[in-house]
Structure 1
């Protein structure tokens, strides 16, 4: 049985001027650290990422 390493993280997104809580795998968290929150804000606005 495969269980991914999921973490619940609260990340400040400057473009949205608010905190966003995301349930992320550790690899996704590394991608956010690499690309920045601007890319995540773009994905949220396009509806590609579910925000709680």
Structure 2
């Protein structure tokens, strides 16, 4: 599963982990990615999307039909 949200576009953030002795090593901050299945009434079927926790909140706020329309306008295949 890729660490990319289809709704918000969130991807991992990269930086350095700094130890007590100030040794810096590379690390990454992964977004909270989930696979969710939604029923879309306008399509008459279920779709599975890879979304972050913030993407789930966006779907709850705007509705799945509005989010699917926005994704289709961007050219995402669902």
TM-score normalized by structure 1?
0.81
Residue matched to 2:32: 5
The alignment's C-alpha RMSD in Å is 1.5
Structure with a larger share of its residues in helix = 1
Higher strand share: 2
For structure 2, which runs of at least 5 residues remain unmatched after alignment? Answer: 1-27
User: Radius of gyration: which is bigger?
Assistant: 2
- TM-score w.r.t. the length of structure 2 is 0.57
Q: Which residue of 2 aligns with 1:20?
A: 47
Q: How many residues align?
A: 51
Divergent runs of 4+, >2 A: 47-51
